[in-house]
Structure 1
Amino acid sequence: MAGLNKVVHSYEQALDGLSDNMTIMVGGFGLCGIPEGLINHMVKIGITGLTAISNNAGVDDFGLGLLLKHQQISTMIASYVGENATFERQMLSGELTVILTPQGTLAEKIRAGGAGIPAFFTATGFGTPIADGKETREINGRHYVLEHSLTADFALIRAWKADTMGNLIFRNTAANFNPMMATAGKITVVEAEHIVAPGELDPNHIHTPGIYVDRVIQASFEKRIEQRTIKAITE
């Protein structure tokens, strides 16, 4: 990787500097838009003690579920447990610290972190256990909870297209948490389906400017379906 060319050619290069007990943000919603190869490489190298910020943890045998399976995550900051039995079991047994956060609040905590905003007030969660131990304030007759923003040592992102300078385009719902997380990592690593030369991406269609991106790696994705529903054919 030299100058403005942010392309790396191995997962070792992509995750250089990642070590035990770091905080990672991982894009995706369930299995949609997750950086599969980066997750698989973390499993391979055995990083442990991670704090993982992600909407949820996929399924038991794929995505972040693999890191949970190998007990490499110590804390999950997420909006729901979903359909991951390992996630549920580890949370209920106390093996895993889980900080459940309303989905909109989680998104805003990440966006604020990327924007350099240390905290913000939201009405979501007031009067519930979500607000326990947090500062609250009444503003214009409505009660609010103070939420602190989130940043990470590494943001692991999946994009549809990237150019070699790190400009990104996300496709449809695979965007989900990826654009905001890309801004909130000290080191942002992107797995892209397609990598093109500078100038090939229409500037009007770029979702994340390359200034936020540190490394880009070419990847192929399994694109597993989380839930498959088939309509019965009747004669």
Structure 2
Amino acid sequence: MGLDKTVASAAEAVADISDGASLAVGGFGLCGIPGTLIDALWQRGTGGLQVVSNNCGVDDWGLGLLLAAGQIARMTSSYVGENKEFARQYLSGELEVELVPQGSLAERLRAGGAGIPAFYTPAGTGTQVGEGGLPWRYATDGSVAVASPPKETREFGGRPYLLEEGITTDFALVRATIGDRHGNLVFRSSARNFNPLAAMAGRITIAEVDHLVEPGELDPDEVHLPGVFVQRVVRVAPGDPAAERRIERRTVRQEGDA
């Protein structure tokens, strides 16, 4: 592959993601999600996906589109509370779910991308996260078909720690505000969230960017994620509805409230 990593469309960028592939997907809620790439996967109908992402979008947007279409087989997440279809599929045994403390999930992605196979953390000690028994998959009768295994523990300084494994995936899908043709990315404010970590974890990382610039236009000090972690770059088409920035839940004060 040459230094120019741009591809013409999101459809072309995800064309080799096959059924059963594992994906790390950036975003937090609906903030910073790679909506154009998710939409392209949804349109393509790729199924049996094993997705690692902080959450699974909402019922009608983000990863929630793939979930509703039955394209996701397994989720590794830290939060899933905004998606009723997620709860239905999980409790009915249609979806396997590994819930991970949020900091541990972030570090597992970073560790995988940095070539670190595992690390110790105090998060989850004394709970089912460490002791095992968390339902990963339910049977149709409501019993637990697959439960989480116990994690290896070790003491450091008299305090127990759990061994957590790094995460690597076949592909990663992320969204950045600015990217150049070499794959160097700049994220905007809180939209950075899990995006750099997901990008590091993917063997093939695909970035959708709002603004595509030429190599050399980005000051190296501005770059949040170097292009060594990115294999493909797609510019989001202006006005593409799949790239819309939505708000999960809008709360406003009623007129007259103190």
Partner amino acid, structure 2, of 1:193? D
8 Å contact kept, 1:169–1:205:
yes
CA distance in 2, matches of 1:16, 1:39: 12
State the match for 1:195 in structure 2: 212
CA distance in 2, matches of 1:80, 1:231: 26
Q: Which runs of 5+ in 1 are unaligned?
A: none
Does 1:167 find its partner at 2:184?
A: yes
Partner amino acid, structure 2, of 1:135? E
State the match for 1:141 in structure 2: 158
State the match for 2:248 in structure 1: 226
CA distance in 1, matches of 2:88, 2:106: 25
Partner amino acid, structure 2, of 1:156? L
Q: Which moved more, 1:145-154 or 1:13-22?
A: 13-22
Deviation at 1:148, TM superposition (A): 0.6
State the match for 2:6 in structure 1: 7
8 Å contact kept, 2:11–2:37:
no
User: What is the CA deviation profile of residues 120-174 of structure 1, one whole-angstrom value per residue up to 9, with x for unaligned ones?
Assistant: 1111111111012111111210001111110110000000000111100000000
Partner amino acid, structure 2, of 1:78? S
TM-score of the pair, normalised by structure 2: 0.88
Structure 1 runs of 4+ off > 6 angstroms?
none
What is the number of equivalent residue pairs in this alignment?
234
8 Å contact kept, 1:135–1:146:
yes
Deviation at 1:91, TM superposition (A): 1.0
Superposed counterparts of 1:1-235, under 5 Å? 3-131=2-130, 132=132, 133-219=150-236, 220=238, 221-234=243-256
8 Å contact kept, 2:11–2:41:
no
Partner amino acid, structure 2, of 1:101? V
Partner amino acid, structure 2, of 1:50? L
Deviation at 1:232, TM superposition (A): 2.2
8 Å contact kept, 1:57–1:82:
no
CA distance in 2, matches of 1:66, 1:156: 15
CA distance in 2, matches of 1:145, 1:151: 19
**What is the SS of the residue equivalent to 1:7?**
coil
CA distance in 2, matches of 1:102, 1:194: 33
